[in-house]
Structure 1
């Protein structure tokens, strides 16, 4: 296997055997880097007065990381600006929230040029380079400009928007053209892949056949490659001491009631407002069930400096307060709304204690919470997954109760169905989903992509 160079906005290598505290992506990429003797490069998260390209190296448990500081202007324009105020809302179909500022676009390009300049000296001739996510779309082209002739792949962890939505981005055609510097591009679902193809074919005159997209003498291989979790590790985590202690605490706290759980980063793409309204619809339509259930919504804040995130937090606080005020009783509160994060072990215990998981984003590239919930269940008495049709995970977890998150009625109906579902049906649905997440786990995802990249001939000079 060639040495692998992973490049992402932030570096998060799993170290010291702390897999239980790390996300699945970190675990998968760390495993690949350890096997190949590779390197993980990205922004340190720190700010410097003047960009120098000074690299900080760290090596732990066979994995080398290399990070660089950015100037405050880079962070504001590249990260807070173009990545999170422009591309993130646009890629999640929220054109109403996207901010199109030339300064943001310029900062995004400048930061990617700086990343390329810094990392190119670290890349050896036989290395494979794997660029991660929407923060670094033009990085491949910048690497090529600086003489990189290696195999270079790109994986998008978000959705790719339909052609008409993407056209609202002033520099959409130019941005997409930079992606032809890559040899292989991976998407979570066929829908996101096809949206990318549609844009190139209909707007730029490209041609697509047999998995190869061609444009003006250049070509890239496109693959559908849904990311997974380390299902065995998470299932084991759910049976561990900390998870079991958490599960007992949740059962005691529930006091015989069925717990519905939602775990999401505080983000408008997660459909939290729609979820609260759908749950309230259930309370109104099923008065006999009101005090037999409660919703635990865990939503740690993120991107607190971005105004749209401040608005969603304010909206949810008001909405949860209104619902609790209207429906609570002396011995029962319908929504427990928590704005903090928890370790994966604690979450595994929460999932295992839940009767229902509400995973209802209005748009999501994948959503690993859905897969973690399935992995954490007791095989003899599993809970029920209610899943948005608009999450990438819905293409794989077809035995979940799939709903339109915009419809409060569908969500209410699904909650009622889940609460009444016989144990035999819950076990059947869970077994089918667990088989999928075991067969297509995070190591399958990584190998599928790196095998495609390794077998692909490098792009011509």
Structure 2
């Protein structure tokens, strides 16, 4: 059985959220921003979960796309999504910053849900269609889909880091995950080393014989490569040029007491280095290297995975440290840390980017980090500085940032101070170079290069 859609994206989530009025709204986030225009251009389909357990809506059209919802029960949300995906694979793929948890029933649910995604995709794909599967929640889908529909051209892209060989080897069911990825014609990663790790594992675990960037399996050739993701630069630049957004940035600086602004914008996740960032800032205040009269830290922490124990504990630790710093170094009406545990609109974030003297992006591990690129794109004034973790994919592209090791508090402090001390000329030179890089490598180019490489396979 085959359907009518010649281009299908398969991702854990649909590109829409249910609004209070019962209508659907386009979701924020990097994947939707990157891929939505391509699906619309191809008049294609998107297979994904609505984000809520229970009853599954009928397939429906939205903004030039056909959306095919996949249902999850409450139990599957617990086991497939919050369990195997986010308490096992996520931490292990992020260098085991938190200890991964391994449970057999989670792996079984992950298999069941991946099969459901593959079946839904097989049903709606036209003969010889192109299917693009995304991210760590669906690592088994390519092989399952290949089994059902060998006629399809299948690409897979991993948005998070792919771990070193010795970490991947710790995973129960590791060979199954590797075989799942090998169902694709093209397996894409953020960085070249990730592709090398993947190919090395095919030899160690499956006895295959990878050559350069490809490996033969079951009479097919599977190619692995790096395709660093980016952002919609034109959209960010348009927001930054908006007079109301610029006015909002000026108001924000005034409300913060016309102090120099350090800005952090992250999901509240233990991989993002928020605790280490607060520790470095607190020490700088304690030493007198920074003063509450002169500098303020604004930390936006977008709520994330609120039902997962590790995230609940992280929130408690972060909010306790914010309270300690504000209690020790603050004054009435002048806090050294403004902490926002909330989501912000794109326009609000761009206003914050324009208001910030220093953007601090210091994850312990990150596949790319699009916030760093958004900040650079927003600085059409060629001012501001970027402190960037060496352990982000973005660090390979944005070498003019002040690169730091977030695990080393002293190095993080050094980077923050150097960024604050940069002269206007130094800021302009660094920002101009980073903007040239970001403008040359847009999300459109990322998608085009991946799909062109996928078309060339087979």
The TM-score, its normalising length taken from structure 2, stands at: 0.93
Q: Secondary structure at the match of 1:260?
A: strand
Q: Secondary structure at the match of 1:161?
A: coil
Aligned in 2, Cα 1:427/1:23: closer, same or farther, shift over 3 Å? Answer: same
CA positional deviation for 1:405: 0.3
Mapped to 2, the partners of 1:25 and 1:159 lie a distance apart of 15
Is 2:5 the counterpart of 1:36? no
Q: Residue 121 of structure 2: which of 119, 122, 133 is its match?
A: 119
Mapped to 2, the partners of 1:138 and 1:406 lie a distance apart of 33
User: Does the CA contact (< 8 Å) of 1:404 and 1:410 recur in 2?
Assistant: yes
1:390-401 correspondence runs (5 A): 390-401=391-402
Is 2:12 the counterpart of 1:9? yes
Aligned residue in 1 for 2:21: none
Mapped to 2, the partners of 1:184 and 1:226 lie a distance apart of 14
Q: Residue 99 of structure 1: which of 78, 92, 101 is its match?
A: 101
Aligned residue in 2 for 1:57: 59
Aligned in 2, Cα 1:283/1:198: closer, same or farther, shift over 3 Å? Answer: farther
Aligned residue in 1 for 2:410: 409
Q: Secondary structure at the match of 1:222?
A: strand
Structure 2 regions of 5+ residues with no counterpart? Answer: 19-23
Aligned residue in 2 for 1:221: 223
Q: Secondary structure at the match of 1:120?
A: helix
User: Does the CA contact (< 8 Å) of 1:327 and 1:334 recur in 2?
Assistant: yes
Aligned in 2, Cα 1:452/1:347: closer, same or farther, shift over 3 Å? Answer: same
1:259-408 correspondence runs (5 A): 259-287=261-289, 289-380=291-382, 382-408=383-409
Cα deviations by residue, 1:220-246 (Å, 9 ceiling, x for unpaired): 111110110011110111122442232
Q: Secondary structure at the match of 1:127?
A: strand
Mapped to 2, the partners of 1:132 and 1:331 lie a distance apart of 46
Aligned in 2, Cα 1:421/1:383: closer, same or farther, shift over 3 Å? Answer: same
CA positional deviation for 1:330: 3.7
CA positional deviation for 1:447: 0.4
How many residues get paired? 449
Aligned residue in 2 for 1:435: 436
Mapped to 2, the partners of 1:378 and 1:147 lie a distance apart of 47
User: Does the CA contact (< 8 Å) of 2:230 and 2:441 recur in 1?
Assistant: yes
Mapped to 2, the partners of 1:309 and 1:403 lie a distance apart of 25
Mapped to 2, the partners of 1:288 and 1:180 lie a distance apart of 52
Cα deviations by residue, 1:165-189 (Å, 9 ceiling, x for unpaired): 1121111122112211110011111
1:157-236 correspondence runs (5 A): 157-215=159-217, 217-236=219-238
Mapped to 2, the partners of 1:392 and 1:106 lie a distance apart of 32
User: Does the CA contact (< 8 Å) of 2:158 and 2:190 recur in 1?
Assistant: yes
Aligned residue in 2 for 1:47: 53
User: Does the CA contact (< 8 Å) of 2:16 and 2:26 recur in 1?
Assistant: no
Mapped to 2, the partners of 1:86 and 1:102 lie a distance apart of 11
User: Does the CA contact (< 8 Å) of 1:180 and 1:218 recur in 2?
Assistant: no
Mapped to 1, the partners of 2:58 and 2:251 lie a distance apart of 42
Mapped to 1, the partners of 2:202 and 2:264 lie a distance apart of 37
User: Does the CA contact (< 8 Å) of 2:15 and 2:27 recur in 1?
Assistant: no
CA positional deviation for 1:19: 11
Comparing 92-101 with 301-310, greater Cα deviation is found at: 92-101
Cα deviations by residue, 1:133-162 (Å, 9 ceiling, x for unpaired): 001000011112223421001000000111
CA positional deviation for 1:216: 6.2
Structure 1 regions of 5+ residues with no counterpart? Answer: none
Mapped to 2, the partners of 1:425 and 1:288 lie a distance apart of 21
CA positional deviation for 1:291: 2.2
Runs of 4+ residues over 6 Å off in structure 1:
18-21
User: Does the CA contact (< 8 Å) of 1:279 and 1:408 recur in 2?
Assistant: no
Aligned in 2, Cα 1:138/1:288: closer, same or farther, shift over 3 Å? Answer: closer
Aligned in 2, Cα 1:33/1:288: closer, same or farther, shift over 3 Å? Answer: closer
CA positional deviation for 1:163: 1.1
Aligned residue in 2 for 1:23: 29
User: Does the CA contact (< 8 Å) of 1:24 and 1:230 recur in 2?
Assistant: no
CA positional deviation for 1:48: 2.5
CA positional deviation for 1:370: 0.2
